[in-house]
Chain A
Amino acid sequence: MRKILSVTILTATLLGSGGCKKESEFLNVQPTSILSNEQAFSDPAIVLSILANLYNRQLDIATIKNWVTMADFGEAFPSANGNKNIVERTDWGYGDWSNWDYGYIRQLNLFIERCNAATALSEANKKRFLAEARFLRAYHYFEMTKRMGGVPLILESMQYDYKGDPTYLQHPRAKESAMYDFVIAEAEAIKADLPADVNVKSRASRGAALAMLTRAALYAGSIARYGVNTPQLSLPGGETGIPAEQANAYYTKALQAAQELMGGTAGAYGLYQKKQDLGENFASIFFDKGNNPETIFMEDFKLKSGKVHGFTTANQPRFGAEEEEGGRTNPSLNLVHSFEKLDNTFGPLPVTDAGGNPIYYTNQQDIFAGRDARLAGTVMLPGTSFKGRAVDIWAGYILADGSIVSGDQRGQFKTLPGTTTPVQVIGYDGPINGMEFTAQSGFYIRKYIDPAIGSGSRGTGSEVPFVRYRFAEVLLNAAEAAFELGQTGVAAGYMNQVRARAGLIIPLGAGDITLARIMHERRAELAFEGHILFDNKRWRRAHIVWDGQAMNQADLLNNIGTAMQRNTQPWSLWSYKLHNPGNPNHGKWVYRMQRSPVVTGANRFRFGNYYSNINNDILSNNPKIVRQPNQD
């Protein structure tokens, strides 16, 4: 016992005298795995990696990271049984599309404050990083404004003082016009600090700032101009809705910014025109990453880096694909037949002649001949091929008496009457109603589909970028702004550039430009790029085109290309082969329009959908927030 005690005392003495550090030093050890703010903002490489995280969290309404975001709004049929609620439901929820990501805003604010305080960064680096963070912040506020109208405009990191009264942290919603003014002013302020380089595409550039400016000003202008049609969407405090008299000022800004970008001072942007086949050329805009003058700002992906996406896997033609899946997004006939004919007129696809008799086509693709090349660039048509393999979409045989022989399995074989050997009676890509991953609308999507080998396999993925801003949209923004300012000739000039690239070489004159034309042009050029919802919202026609009424065939075929055409249910176009030996049309193709029995709902856009819901948690935490109009 005595021995143990003495050993203990000895050890304690040794330890006590052996600790030669002062207590304050001993307890203050710098962690080796965490960087302090000063350390992090001392090295440009580290700052860039912080910024990369912020870039990665940008918000998109439609994105190739999730095909479902594109398969809505009557533009497509979701050919996956887990997502068919899109065509079964009637209303969009008031909370759909809403966003209140102030965590992201706070981190952007913190980044800006810390970068401002940094001492070790060079002035040039600092300027660019700050401009990029401000770009991202304006971008996110723009995204929130499109969804929510005015939101609290928080431009510094807020800190709670733990005194029990958080009211000084509660900010009211800014006016909707103030939100757009902020985005425009920020873009103006930072554009000189950003590189004017056409090859900077996945980071903010001067071109990206100008493209954002023109889009934001255009949105604000049209909300001001067309908001008068829907007075019930405006709140008395201006949190939603913009006074009509501000429209011209916004349109002027939109036009100026677009012209500045087109002038070339931000970099040598232009339309992508590299390939002979115009449809192929249009599809290439989205996957050609080498010297592409069209894309201005995009989310980039890279093979073997961990950042790849499965859009091609999810949507490729399923038959013979690299993975036993695909075919999820099926563009609707509504979209397909809205593409113009080469003589600048609209019309349905010629399924029957004037007398109501079916038209027989020698080749499956012939029915689509003579149309806007963007159709073939956006939609994979039956009879075309992908990765060297024909897309096998056809619904069966029509017999002499008009009856149909078809199958309920992909590529099924059956014996036709009057023959003895079984033959294939339906395409390996469908269409079969209710069978997921087949082309149930008769079409597959082509935009963003990666032609590279391996892009359709789950393990490899695709590195096709998601384009957020591109030159054609800037041209169309300029055209719309010019049109609204009464400069129809200028508008026609910009429209014709975009149209000529799509093979519509008969120019539109100043008198041809109408709002309906511009609406149609944006739908054709920018299909599946996340514009359809916001465009229809700002033109205040979402409640008209998505009015909740079921679409019959007359609705589908009348008024194509007009502003008010209903688009509540995706229709299909199925092709059949005629089996009538001896008939001159034997073996030729016939088309039939139909609506899938899966489509039971009809899109209804209610007034309460124009501005997405601010939920009760947010309202409870901050009594200064006013509710959205027209919601319960």
Chain B
Amino acid sequence: MKIIIAILSFSLFLCACDKDNYDPPTAQLSGKLVYQGEAINVEFNQVPYQLYQFGFGKTGAVSNTSFTQEGTYSVLLFNGTYKLLIPNGQGPFIWKKLPSGAPDSITVTMNGSQQLDLEVTPYYMIRTPQITAAGNNVTATFKAEKVITDANARNIERVNLYLNKTTFVSGNGNYNVAQVSRTGANITDPNNISLTVAVPAIVPAQNYIFARIGLKVAGVEDMIFSPVVKLTL
């Protein structure tokens, strides 16, 4: 009798394993932030995007993560319909809004993996960035092109050149070993901005460094960046 009960309960246990588990999501949604086909670079882990799903569960995003510093994103989803949006006040760009002021959303229908680039309108674009190392200095030259010129236009608060030991480069304390800044008021010609910063001593020593240019728009929290370049010293 006892043996039978034991066998029965054990087989129930085996069944349970099978019933309770779903397959993990396999459909990949990925893409990048673009303006007229050109990628928008942002700060690592600072510009979020959200995916919402209808029908069940609690209010709130089912996925709430952020763009990489190249402006790319990727997320694994179940097949179904989702809404994707970037919350208000995030990113160095304007995301479409509803008349109520809430961020507009993009409907994403997942049926297998797909690529979806997100078109946004940045306040500025960093054009023709040239970053070079010479001697113990890194010099960057670029053009700051004002993209939004209507009532939403904003001024440049400052531009920065950041250097870091690793590929993560931004204004955040951990992500640069040296930086130089110029305020918007001190930019005489936005079509020809040049910044130079000395390379500090790197411990442990390495003969290369990563650099990129950042542009801070007045009144907007997130900066827009040029692509990261690796420089050999």
- What is A's interface to B at a CB cutoff of 8 Å? 90, 231-232, 236, 543, 548-550, 568-569, 600-602, 604, 606-608, 616-617, 619-620, 623, 629-632
Whether B221 contacts A630 by the Cβ 8 Å rule is yes
Q: B16-42 interface mask toward A, CB cutoff 8 Å, 1 = contact, 0 = none?
A: 000000000000000000000000000
A630 in contact with B89 (CB, 8 Å): yes
Using known A-B contacts A630-B88, A630-B90, A632-B48, determine if residue A549 contacts B59 with beta carbons closer than 8 Å.
Answer: no
Q: Are B50 and A548 in contact (CB under 8 A)?
A: no
User: Is B135 interfacial (CB 8 A cutoff)?
Assistant: no
Contacts of A630 in B (CB 8 A): 87-90, 221
Give me 11 A-to-B residue pairs in the complex whose CB atoms sit less than 8 angstroms apart, sorted by A's number: A232-B89, A236-B101, A549-B179, A550-B176, A601-B174, A602-B172, A607-B221, A629-B88, A630-B88, A630-B89, A632-B64
A90 to B171, CA, bound (A): 11
A627's nearest neighbour on chain B, judged by CB, is B87
Q: Are B221 and A620 in contact, with the CB atoms below 8 A?
A: no
Once bound together, how far apart are the Cα atoms of A364 and B50, in whole Å?
Answer: 56
How many Å from the CB of A485 to the closest CB on chain B? 28
A629 pairs with B60, CB closer than 8 A? no
Residues on the B chain within 8 Å of A620, using CB:
58-60
**For the complex, is B81 an interface residue (Cβ under 8 Å from A)?**
no
Query: Per a CB cutoff under 8 Å, which of A602, A623, A631, A632 touches B174?
Result: A602
Asked whether, in the complex, the Cβ of A602 is within 8 Å of the Cβ of B59, the reply is no
* Closest-CB distance, A173 to chain B (whole angstroms): 15
Q: Does B89 lie within 8 Å of A90, measured CB to CB?
A: no
Write the chain A residue with the least CB distance to B65. Answer: A632
Q: Hey, which chain A residues are within 8 Å of B179, CB to CB?
A: 549
A548 CB contacts on chain B under 8 angstroms: 171-173
Which chain A positions have C-beta within 8 A of B221? Answer: 543, 606-607, 630
What residues on A are CB-neighbors of B48 within 8 Å?
A: 632
Q: Other CB < 8 Å A-B pairs besides A548-B173, A620-B58, A632-B90, 7 of them?
A: A548-B171, A548-B172, A604-B173, A607-B221, A616-B59, A630-B90, A632-B87
- How far, in angstroms, from A307 to B173 measured CA to CA in the complex? 41
Nearest chain B CB to A599 CB, angstrom units: 9
Question: Once the chains are docked, how many angstroms separate the CA of A568 from the CA of B88?
Answer: 26
Q: Is B190 engaged at the interface, CB distance under 8 Å to the other chain?
A: no
A600 to B176, CA, bound (A): 11
State in angstroms the CA–CA spacing of A568 and B171 once bound together: 13
- A631 to B87 alpha-carbon distance, docked (Å): 7
| B88 cross-chain contacts in A, Cβ below 8 A | 629-630
The residues of B that contact A549 with a CB separation of less than 8 Å are 171-173, 179
Q: A629-B88, A630-B90, A632-B90 are in contact. Are A600 and B58 (CB under 8 A)?
A: no
B219 interfacial by beta-carbon distance below 8 Å: yes
Q: Nearest-CB distance from B134 to chain A (Å)?
A: 24
Please report the C-alpha to C-alpha distance between residue A281 and residue B38 in the assembled complex, in whole angstroms: 65
Interface membership of B53, Cβ < 8 A? no
Give 6 closest A-B pairs by Cβ, nearest first.
A602-B173, A632-B48, A616-B60, A620-B58, A550-B173, A630-B89
A632 touches B50 (CB 8 A): yes
Q: How far is the CB of A607 from chain B (nearest CB, A)?
A: 5
Residues in chain B near residue A604, CB distance under 8 A: 172-173
B194 within 8 A of A: no
In the bound assembly, the distance between CA atoms of A549 and B158 in angstroms comes to: 14
User: Are B101's CB and A600's CB within 8 A?
Assistant: no
B178 to chain A, nearest CB (A): 10
Residues of A within 8 A of B172 (CB): 90, 548-549, 602, 604
Please determine whether A619 and B66 come into contact, CB atoms closer than 8 angstroms: no
Residues 165-179 (chain B) with a chain A CB within 8 angstroms: 171-174, 176, 179
Tell me the smallest distance from the CB of B184 to a CB of chain A, in Å.
16
Alpha-carbon distance A525/B233, docked complex (angstroms): 50
CB distance from A331 to the nearest CB of B (A): 21
The one of A569, A616, A629 in contact with B173, judged by C-beta atoms closer than 8 angstroms, is A569
Interface centre among B59, B219, B221 (most CB of A within 10 A): B59
Cα separation A199 to B89 with both chains bound (whole Å): 49
Q: Smallest CB–CB gap between A226 and chain B, Å? A: 14
Residue contact B89 to A616, C-beta cutoff 8 Å: no
Please measure, in the bound complex, the distance between the C-alpha atom of A606 and the C-alpha atom of B179, giving whole angstroms.
20
Q: Which of A231, A550, A600, A632 has the most CB of B within 10 A?
A: A632
* 56-71 of chain B: CB within 8 A of chain A: 58-61, 64, 66
With both chains docked as a complex, state the minimum distance between the C-beta of A73 and any C-beta of chain B, in angstroms.
15
A601 CB to nearest chain B CB (Å): 6
Cα of A543 to Cα of B179 in the assembled complex, Å = 19
Task: Determine how close the nearest CB of chain B comes to the CB of A598; give it in whole angstroms.
Answer: 13
Tell me the minimal C-beta distance from B207 to chain A in angstroms: 24
Question: Could you tell me the distance in whole angstroms from the C-beta of B117 to the nearest C-beta in chain A?
Answer: 20
Q: How far is the CA of A339 from the CA of B172 in the complex (A)?
A: 28
Tell me how far the C-beta of A41 lies from the nearest C-beta in chain B, rounded to whole angstroms.
39
How far does the alpha carbon of A550 sit from the alpha carbon of B181 in the complex, in Å?
A: 13
Residue of A nearest to B87 (CB): A632
Chain B residues positioned under 8 Å from A608 (CB to CB): 89
A601 touches B173 (CB 8 A): yes
Which residues from A are CB-within-8-Å of B87? 630-632
Q: In the complex, are the beta carbons of B171 and A607 less than 8 A apart?
A: no
Give the distance to chain A from B67, nearest Cβ to Cβ, in Å.
11
Please measure, in the bound complex, the distance between the C-alpha atom of A90 and the C-alpha atom of B49, giving whole angstroms. Answer: 21
Chain B residues with CB under 8 A of A631: 87
Closest A residue to B221 by CB, please name it: A607
In Å, the complex CA distance between A629 and B173 comes to: 25
The smallest beta-carbon distance between B104 and chain A, in angstroms, is 16
Least CB distance, B218 to chain A, in whole angstroms: 11
Q: Which residues of B contact A606 (CB under 8 A)?
A: 221
Let me know if B173 and A90 touch, CB within 8 A.
Answer: yes
Are A607's CB and B59's CB within 8 A?
no
Question: Residues 71-93 of chain B: 1 if any A CB is under 8 Å from the residue's CB, otherwise 0?
Answer: 00000000000000001111000
Could you tell me which residues of chain B, from 190 to 230, have a CB within 8 Å of some CB in chain A? 219, 221
Measured in the bound complex, the distance between the Cα atoms of B223 and A604 in whole Å is 14
- CB nearest neighbor in B for A229: B219
Would you give the shortest CB distance from B108 to chain A, in whole angstroms?
18
A632 near B59 (CB under 8 angstroms)?
no
A544 to chain B, nearest CB (A): 11
Minimum CB–CB distance for A460 against chain B, Å: 41
Bound CA–CA A232/B218 (angstroms): 12
Chain B residues in 8 Å Cβ range of A569:
173
Question: In the complex, which of the residues B66, B87, B173 has the most CB atoms of chain A within 10 Å of its own CB atom?
Answer: B173
Select from chain B the residue with minimum beta-carbon distance to A604: B172
- Give every chain A residue within 8 A of B173 (Cβ-Cβ): 90, 548-550, 568-569, 600-602, 604
Q: Given that A232-B219, A606-B221 are contacting pairs, would A619 and B174 also be in contact in the complex, using a CB cutoff of 8 Å?
A: no
With A236-B101, A602-B174 already in contact, the answer to whether A617 and B58 are too (CB < 8 A) is yes
Q: How far is the CB of B3 from chain A (nearest CB, A)?
A: 41
Report Cα–Cα, A617/B88, bound state, in Å.
21
Let me know if B64 and A90 touch, CB within 8 A: no
CB-CB under 8 A from A607, the residues of chain B are: 89, 221
Q: How far is the CB of A566 from chain B (nearest CB, A)?
A: 11
Q: Which residues of B contact A617 (CB under 8 A)?
A: 58
Determine the chain B residues whose CB is within 8 A of the CB of A543 once the complex forms.
Answer: 221
Chain B min CB distance to A300 (Å):
40
Q: Which of B88-102 contact A (CB under 8 A)?
A: 88-90, 101
Identity of the chain A residue whose Cβ is nearest the Cβ of B43 in the assembled complex: A548
The answer to whether B174 touches A616 (Cβ under 8 A) is no
Q: Specify the chain A residue showing the minimal Cβ separation from B86.
A: A632
Q: Is the CB of A600 within 8 A of B174?
A: yes
Using Cβ atoms and an 8 Å threshold, which residues of chain A touch B64?
632
Contact across chains for A619 and B60 when beta carbons are under 8 A apart: yes
- Tell me which residues across on chain B come within 8 A of A550, comparing CB atoms: 173, 176
- The interface residues of chain B lying within 8 Å CB-to-CB of A601 are 173-174
Within 8 Å CB of A616, what residues of B?
58-60
